Amino acid sequence: MGMAYFVALASAFLVLSAATALRPGRHGLFAALAYPVGWAAGELAGQGIVLEALLIGLLWWWGWPTTHWLSVVVIALAGVAVLENLALIVILFLSRAIVRKAMESAPDRPLRIPRPNDDVFGRWWRTALLVPFHPRDMQLHRNLVYGPLDRHRLDVWRLSITPTDAPVIYYLHGGAWTFGDKREQGRPMLHEFVRRGWIVVASNYRLAPRFPWPAQIEDATRALGWIKKNIATYGGDPDRVVVAGGSAGGHLASLLALSAKDPSWRPKEMSDVTDWTVRGALSFYGVLEMTGDEAHWGGLGRGIRLLLERRVVQVPYQGHESLYLSLSPYERIAPDSPPFFVVQGVNDTLVEVNVARAFVAKYRSVAFAPVYYVELPFTQHAFDVTASPRTSATTRAAVAFAESVVTSRPALTPQLVANYQVPPTRLLVAVDEKWLDAKEAASIIGPFFVVTSDNPFSRELSSEENDARRVALRSFLHRRGVDYFETLGCDPQGRWPDEAGVALRDLSREDVRSLTCVWDQFAFYEVSEDSVLVRDATSDVALA
């Protein structure tokens, strides 16, 4: 009888654990247990079924209970536990379709992601084991020094066959800014990046409460500076860096990407680093709003604010509102912000799903670069620690995103600069259904800028590819409520196909420059009734 009671209690625990994974509690003791219990049940559903089978087998071997009601209870609990865990397994595999649909239906620049059999490292048997083994041929350069303090250490991962000038992904670990290590998180995804020819950098940073804010972002910035200065030694391209992180690491990665123009956290001895930009950011269940505003946090705001006030920032929110706003990625979204990839679980009990939703909504209304948002149902915080089917799905999406933003930027040649000038190019604008020369159009509608989406970096695309890009650019402008006139750039000698573009009157020159960079163009036109200037998209200087 004693064994039967034990099996019944163990089965009841498995039932409650799986129920917590499916519908976590939000109040009291249930909220405290929601993450540790729900995470384990949600990510180890297959093991939960195996454990239940072992319990029933043990009871059978020990001796099945002769008491009818107890026998019924054991069978019922075992059945419910198995059904719940089967549901969790189905959810893991359904994540593949959810992730694919999210990426392919993104309103700006949809992305097609690879299929499971396209994985280079995350094969099915590694996914089944859930253990994030690293590639045997991975070269690991451990504990490289990027600053003067003990926590100023980073690792560089690569293969012996990784080509030179490889793209770089810089990963920041989570841990509520108070614990964690560069060796612990994001490994299934990072291993896939390594096998795909990327350089991976993972760094430690100073932890609170011993080191209060802004020590964490100062260290993340210092490590980025080290990458810009030194990663070429390890085969990386300092111009093709994306940043990534989970939870608190997602916050730091996002803040790093959104504050490239803010010198506040840069180390003085790295004044020779002139480019602090990154090509994109990947936030996994990141803390993207840092004031604890309940409009975003849905009841969890008090917890995040107490953590920040007591252990991380160590000053009260009241009276220091501007400080808390400055460390919130949500508040730093700007038109020239880089592309973003955001992943969030609906069942996350540490970071409310509305935090990610609000960030993405604001990003799509303010930034010109695309943002890709993957929202995973029945998914808890830190789901990607294990190499599950869900993790492999988000990894494929992360790879597709990262590869889309690190395209090499070719040099702008003197020949191209000469070709851009007007003349020899003839620049036409459609005004009242008539095609007019650019300066004549400016005398009617006023000064404007011209941007095209055709033939990125002067690489000639097919008419079908250019048509798709034209539709995407105009759809973007429609969603933002930006009015435009159609334009056409023509080569009178017929050496280059006509390029369709848009004339913009309601955007600033800085905004137009950002839009030009997003669409991978070398330059844009600034037109008045007196002149047509060609401006470099990266430096804003007029090209002669």
| Active site (catalytic) residues | 247, 348, 381
- H or E element: which one contains 525? strand 523-527
- H or E element: which one contains 297? helix 294-297
Q: Is cis: bond before 214, omega within 30 of 0?
A: yes
- 29 by Cβ neighbours in 10 Å (0-12 / 13-18 / 19+) ranks as exposed
CA distance 207 to 231: 25
What are the residue ranges of helices labelled H in 481-531?
509-518
Q: Give 159's strand partners.
A: 138
CA dist 60 → 55, 57, 80 (Å): 9, 5, 19
Q: Give 15's strand partners.
A: none
Contact 378, 91 (CB under 8 A): yes
DSSP type of residue 214? T
Instruction: Kindly provide the b/e burial profile for residues 189-216, where b requires at least 16 CB atoms within 10 angstroms of the residue's own CB.
Output: bbbbbbbbebbbbbbbbbbbeebbbbbb
Cα torsion through 335, 274, 538, 170, rounded to 10? -60
